[in-house]
Structure 1
Amino acid sequence: MRVLVPFGARDPKSRLSSVFSPSERRDLAEAMLDDVLAALSDHEPVVVANAPVDAAAPTRVDDRPLTTAVNARLGEGPTAVVMADLPLVRGETITRLLDTEGDVVVAPGLGGGTNALVVRHPEFETDYHGVSVRDHRERARAVGATVSTVDSYRLGVDIDEPADLVEVLLHGDGKTTGWLREHGGRVETTDGRTRFRRDGRD
């Protein structure tokens, strides 16, 4: 099965700007990409980036919006789409995703996003705007495709906000976790609640 990994190489992870500089955000995004590609190492993934990036997999530069760039690569056989900001994902998680039956297999992210898809229906098209997990289910049904859902913590945690980084420090063991610790990242507990803190920036 073809596996696509979309990667936003231009000004990545802008919502982390309160804790990381632009160059640090780029490094962090590339560390997460490396973790995802490591989990996909048995599946020959292709990175679809909106600007050049040095990745441990073949890369295709496509500066069109995410939805357009992905849809241009669907319809030619079963295809998986795995986002590049899933640093907790592991090889066994990917195996479970790819082995799940259904014309369209959806792995939801927190907040209504779609962190991974498997597309086996030639008429299905993605839509990554808004509440995409709901939209993908509706689009699948509109073309008569069966829909399955993969309920996975490791696929569900994508990194957009500083609060998301707590999960990486608590549960990760890959390159992203190491990068965060090397750059002063830590988990702070106050009144029973955890949050991400960075030494020297608080």
Structure 2
Amino acid sequence: MRYILIPVKDLTRAKQRLAGLMSQEERTALAWALLESTFAAAAEVRNADKTAIVTLYPPAIELAEKYQFEVILEEQQISESVSVDFGSREARMRGATSALRLPIDLPLIRTDDIESLLNLGGTSPSTVIVPSRDGTGTNAILRNPPDLFPSHFGPGSLEKHVAEAGRTGAACTLVENYRIALDIDEPEDIQELLRVAGESRISDLLHGIGVIDRLKL
């Protein structure tokens, strides 16, 4: 059984690295728009058996229920890695044979991007990783089985995850996908999005709150 796992933090404190560019209210609005975009893309995936969010955040739970996603309720939120590993263990107990972790801050992600990754994770043990745009982080990771090895999200996570795969003897596939590689964490990421995206809900929101003027593009 294939699972998609989407961890969701408290969005009222989201995107702290954009604090010099946007107010907290604006950052929360951006994070929510990104969340809705990710949920919409995941909801159309045809080759996943279940999509589940891992969260304590009530608005995300309410939205997930509208999409008929499963909710894996955390007792506390410590870190991205802890949330993903908790969700992965729970998914396996619910029958998952593989789990694809997706972040919520990928403004360009499409349904077919998700489907193509799921199609690569059929053998066990194996992992499929999409690196971040700078080539050091992990933007998406599929593990078969879901709890194949612990998560190490943060600086240098790609190298750590590849090493973990080697330690377990799992096949490891790195996939270059620009739409998944572009996440929104820093002002430079917003500049890149506005450069390539054209008209979209996320770019429209950024235009509407005046981010272009602040970036002096």
Amino acid at match of 1:117: I
| TM alignment of 1:50-129, pairs within 5 A | 50-54=56-60, 56-57=63-64, 58=69, 59-62=71-74, 63-75=77-89, 76=92, 77-101=97-121, 103-111=126-134, 112-121=136-145, 122-129=147-154
* Contact 1:52-1:61 at 8 Å conserved across structures: no
TM value normalised by structure 1: 0.84
Amino acid at match of 1:183: I
Distance 1:48 1:123 in 2: 18
* Stretches of structure 2 lacking an aligned partner (at least 5 in a row): none
Equivalent pairs: percent with the same residue? 27
Change (3 A) 1:56 1:178: farther
Distance 1:158 1:80 in 2: 17
| Greater mean alpha carbon deviation, residues 127-136 or residues 150-159 | 127-136
1:192 match: none
2:184 match: 159
Aligned residues: 191
Structure with the bigger percentage of helix: 2
* TM-superposed deviation, 1:11: 0.9
Change (3 A) 1:92 1:128: same
1:174 match: 200
Distance 2:196 2:140 in 1: 20
Deviations 1:107-130 (A, max 9, x none): 111231111011103532211133
Deviations 1:13-60 (A, max 9, x none): 001111211111111011111111122112453222353334632444
* TM-superposed deviation, 1:61: 4.4
The CA RMSD over aligned residues, in Å, is 2.2
* Contact 1:88-1:171 at 8 Å conserved across structures: no
Deviations 1:60-84 (A, max 9, x none): 4432322112112225121010011
Amino acid at match of 2:201: K
Deviations 1:145-186 (A, max 9, x none): 110011010010011111111222233343212211221233
* Contact 2:133-2:178 at 8 Å conserved across structures: no
* Contact 1:31-1:176 at 8 Å conserved across structures: yes
| Greater mean alpha carbon deviation, residues 38-47 or residues 144-153 | 38-47
Question: Do residues 23 (structure 1) and 25 (structure 2) align?
Answer: yes
* Contact 1:11-1:22 at 8 Å conserved across structures: yes
* Contact 1:32-1:87 at 8 Å conserved across structures: yes
Secondary structure of residue in 2 paired with 1:45? strand
